[in-house]
Structure 1
């Protein structure tokens, strides 16, 4: 990092004080499984409140969500693809693609939230040749790959993401946020005690409410996503124990870098987040369930020294939970993308363990 990318000394001193770990009320400092369970119970409830989930549920209710299907189903050979829409709260209709393996099932469930891109690519849909090359080179058709491995896969449009024309979002119609719909959306819900990240988690929880009740779904539930989809994955897994295993890719690190800069898009910022804890404390809420974090060694958004420090902290939390070995981290030898050669062998091993 160059001197020009550092804060002045007085600002750096202020931020060091502001972001001190001593101010993290729910930082995980426990050393035994019994103490971990006590911490987790209180911390998860506090974190759900922080994201705005309690407020959203009070406003939206939790009845069985309504789903509407497009009339056409595409045959992809070893699976089918169909578009649907699910009402996750009043006036909010979330678009998704459902990929079903051939056969009667039952099938385990995979949900694949996307980040700042047109998430249709997760379902194998490309708008041009550039998209197609990116999908192939960066393993981005994850819902298709999940279906080919026997999962009933749901690829939802992530709320607030402007890169996906199907995504429900509050657009930056006043150009107050540089045309960034995701940032506009976060601020406009933050003023009533919500967060865009909390809404994304809520949508995923509502999809779980619906999908886990399908007669053809049984067995472990997997969630995986890259970048902003990895953020949604990690935070949903922290909040909802129905997610049996999670793979956030190119997302896990610190929330705030040692230099005092946000590591993720501001649309993931939650007021009060660092008063709760750091990313490893939140990810620790997933324990003892299996968790794989994947990063690109050459991903400029997440320096490896910072990732390594975060991994060390999360490993210690899993150890304290009595879940040694259930958390793993791996680097892919490229940048900000999926790594099929790392993810799918891990997923298949975990499915076998959970299904035994």
Structure 2
């Protein structure tokens, strides 16, 4: 037969360089920094540049339980990033903070109860469950950045299209041709969000959590793997193995990072978050990230957390839904880990 299935299989069967195989704390402590450095190389994380974020407040709305600011941050010489900042009114500052990372859809507005035109949405919240609003009502300050290529940050050629269409393909491929990755720039901008949160006088130093759904889960996980300031972490609707998910069927181009599989499988990368608290949400009916792959990934993650002497910090919420946020455990879990424990990182 001429089909290339066996060809792909033998490529996948090669054991990644940094696959975690051992179970001792000392071996985990040696393994982690090596994979962190490899991950930075793979995503081509932009070098830290002395760019003033120069925050500008574009608007401010009072929603009773919280205030919502529309904010603009500079993240690179030719990049500005709009964000929504949700500030609780039912808590006393300084507040713990959460970075809420969007996935595909119409961007950051979709997460906070707005329609694409910025007007308030009526009816059900959809797959994101308006989770930043749920978190701010629990006393957390939440920043919701617009990811490069989504919503308000699409290329000019895409601005007139359906709001749920994105610019990921052209951005990803242009960056690849330039020796860079879209994932790398998105992670860089999440690090910029953490920098901004730390600069505010109304946030608690060292208490920054993160939650991301779908493609936002990828960016959340990569950021937390690299930046130890981020923790606790909720990854919703993405945790799996590469083999069972993004390599098994077509996904958006922003999921593919050249050479990454040479270094590690997905649960190894997620394992870099250890020993910080990590909650995994996975839907039993999620067709893009099938549950069997999620279970395999969680099992491997548990071995990493066990080696890091932090098995109790890994929590799972395998829910009956499809590709969607659960929140059944996550909202209260984030509140407890950011408010009720002496340390988070």
Report whether the alignment pairs 1:20 with 2:13.
yes
Q: Which structure 2 residues correspond to residues 211-230 of structure 1 after superposition, within 5 A?
A: 211-218=197-204, 220-230=207-217
Q: What is the alpha-carbon distance in structure 2 between the residues aligned to residue 323 and residue 284 of structure 1?
A: 11
TM-score by length of 2: 0.90
Q: Which moved more, 1:267-276 or 1:218-227?
A: 218-227
Relative to structure 1, the CA distance from residue 276 to residue 237 in structure 2 (aligned partners, 3 Å threshold; closer, same or farther) is same
Relative to structure 1, the CA distance from residue 260 to residue 87 in structure 2 (aligned partners, 3 Å threshold; closer, same or farther) is closer
User: Which residue in the other structure is 2:153 paired with?
Assistant: 167
Report whether the alignment pairs 1:51 with 2:43.
yes
The alignment partner of 2:47 has SS state of: helix
2:178 to 192, 195, 198: 192
RMSD over aligned Cα, in angstroms?
A: 2.5
Report whether the alignment pairs 1:246 with 2:236.
no
User: Which residue in the other structure is 1:3 paired with?
Assistant: none
Q: Which structure 2 residues correspond to residues 335-346 of structure 1 after superposition, within 5 A?
A: 335-346=322-333
Q: What is the alpha-carbon distance in structure 1 between the residues aligned to residue 265 and residue 8 of structure 2?
A: 15
Gaps of 5+ in 2: 160-164
Contact 2:84 2:143 in 1 (8 A): yes
2:27 to 31, 35, 49: 35
User: Which residue in the other structure is 1:120 paired with?
Assistant: 109
After superposition, give the CA deviation of every residue in 1:140-191 in whole Å (9 maximum; x if it has no partner).
3122221111111101101122xx1x12558579xxxxx8621211111112
Q: How many residues align?
A: 335
Report whether the alignment pairs 1:153 with 2:142.
yes
Q: What is the alpha-carbon distance in structure 1 between the residues aligned to residue 170 and residue 158 of structure 2?
A: 5
Q: Which structure 2 residues correspond to residues 1-356 of structure 1 after superposition, within 5 A?
A: 10-22=3-15, 24-53=16-45, 56-57=46-47, 61-70=49-58, 72-102=59-89, 104-118=92-106, 119-127=108-116, 132-135=122-125, 137-138=126-127, 140-161=129-150, 164=151, 166-167=152-153, 169=155, 181-218=167-204, 220-257=207-244, 260-262=247-249, 264-355=251-342
Gaps of 5+ in 1: 1-7, 174-178
Contact 1:255 1:262 in 2 (8 A): no
TM-score by length of 1: 0.87
